[in-house]
Amino acid sequence: MGFIDLESLPELQPKTGWHGRFFHSEHMTFAYYLIDEGATLPAHAHANEEVWHVIEGSIDLTLDDQTRTVLAGNAVVVPPNTLHVAKARERCRAIVVDHPVRREVAGLQI
């Protein structure tokens, strides 16, 4: 696969307010999100381990029953099969990496 030009990837919107560009390596899926203020992901879980790296803005993430505001420059590891929720406190950019490869997000093939 080699070099990735993110701007050449189509922008998909798996949920209202979630604008993402996606690509896969052999073992992982990478999502580069621009998230609108107030956009949410309802409670869900999946078999993939997921790592969130917030690079701009802030987002509230809930893992099981613990909620924290995640600021730019911080990361969160969501273990497999862990119930989690997200709500952008402000416009936010985040890189979300799933392992193993994840071919579907919110019913959308990626």
Q: Which CATH number belongs to the domain containing residue 39 in this structure?
A: 2.60.120.10
Residue 65 vs residues 43, 54, 86: alpha-carbon distances, Å: 11, 21, 12
Residue 38 maps to a domain: yes
Residue 76 maps to a domain: yes
Best CA proximity match to 103, nearest among 22, 7, 8, 13: 22
Give how many domains the chain has, as a whole number: 1
Residue 2 maps to a domain: no
Average pLDDT, the chain: 96
Residue 28 maps to a domain: yes
Question: Which range of residues forms the domain containing residue 43?
Answer: 13-105
Whether the bond into 100 is cis, omega within 30 of 0: yes
Which 3 state secondary structure label does DSSP give 25?
coil
Residue 110 maps to a domain: no
The structure's pTM equals 0.95
Residue 52 maps to a domain: yes
Best CA proximity match to 41, nearest among 13, 72, 18, 57: 18
Residue 73 maps to a domain: yes
Please write the tens of the pLDDT for every residue from 50-82: 999 999 999 999 999 999 999 999 999 999 999
